[in-house]
Amino acid sequence: MAAGGGGQVKAAGLSAEELDRVLFTTSAGVHGRPLAEFAVFGVLAGAKDLPRLRRQQDDREWSGRWTMGQVNQQTVLVLGLGGIGRVVAETLHALGATVIGTSRRDVTVTGVSTVVHPDRITEVAPTVDAVVNTLPGTEATEHLLGERFFGALRPGATLVNVGRGSVIDEAALIGALDSGRVGFAALDVFETEPLPAHSPLWDHDRVLVSPHTAALDAAEDRRIAELFAANATRLLDGHELLNRVNTVEFY
């Protein structure tokens, strides 16, 4: 049922013969719209400086006025252009943002002005105002966002994670938050879940913690059932299955 079901398949420890014999599929794409909304929520919260608004409200401080960021004037890096990333990119583009996407293949995606290989994200980091991760958790993506990336990032950038927690090196992220390199982080997923009580992310005034709940909506179960039924039909008819799990990289 999970969009990132490849991790469950890997954790099962199946033999090469079993992996070759069994076809695994996921619910990728079902959660695109809910996660895109959370991603936009995070980008908007960063642009409008939600931490400052929250802090001033808690202190009952009526400060002088200041210029807020405008998403329609920002460049957003969307990591991954799969089912979720494509909807995120399309939605941000509709708000006027310039979207840079990442893919290991030569693809054209609606709303994405430039596509770069994941190996080049540090090169484009100084040019972006916000980063949205939609990537799955694999060996290739583990700690993709670490000290090197955060060190290159434009100061004050917003970070949103709706992919997998393992993509972000949380120790490096905390350092980037403390230095102001990351101005705001909206996180729905974490390296360890539930997020340990001792994690500094809980108390950081520029972090929004969401308990891996951004993908849920009232129609989720129905959509997953419909997708499963469609795949069952494809299997019986001898057609290629949707969202087939890659049993080499497990995504």
Question: Annotated catalytic residue: which of 204, 212, 223, 234?
Answer: 212
Name the residue with tokens 């009526």: 62
Q: Is 239 a catalytic residue?
A: no
Q: Is 164 a catalytic residue?
A: yes
Pairing verdict, β 75-79 and 182-187: unpaired
Question: Annotated catalytic residue: which of 31, 164, 181, 206?
Answer: 164
β strands within the chain, DSSP E? 75-79, 98-102, 114-116, 130-133, 157-161, 182-187, 207-209
Question: Annotated catalytic residue: which of 193, 226, 239, 244?
Answer: 193
Q: Which two tokens stand for residue 235?
A: 């299997």
- In contact, 82 and 27? CB cutoff 8 Å: no
Provide φ and ψ at 244, rounded to 5°.
-65, 130
Q: Is 17 a catalytic residue?
A: no
Number of H helices, E strands in the chain: 9, 7
Residues designated as active site: 164, 193, 212
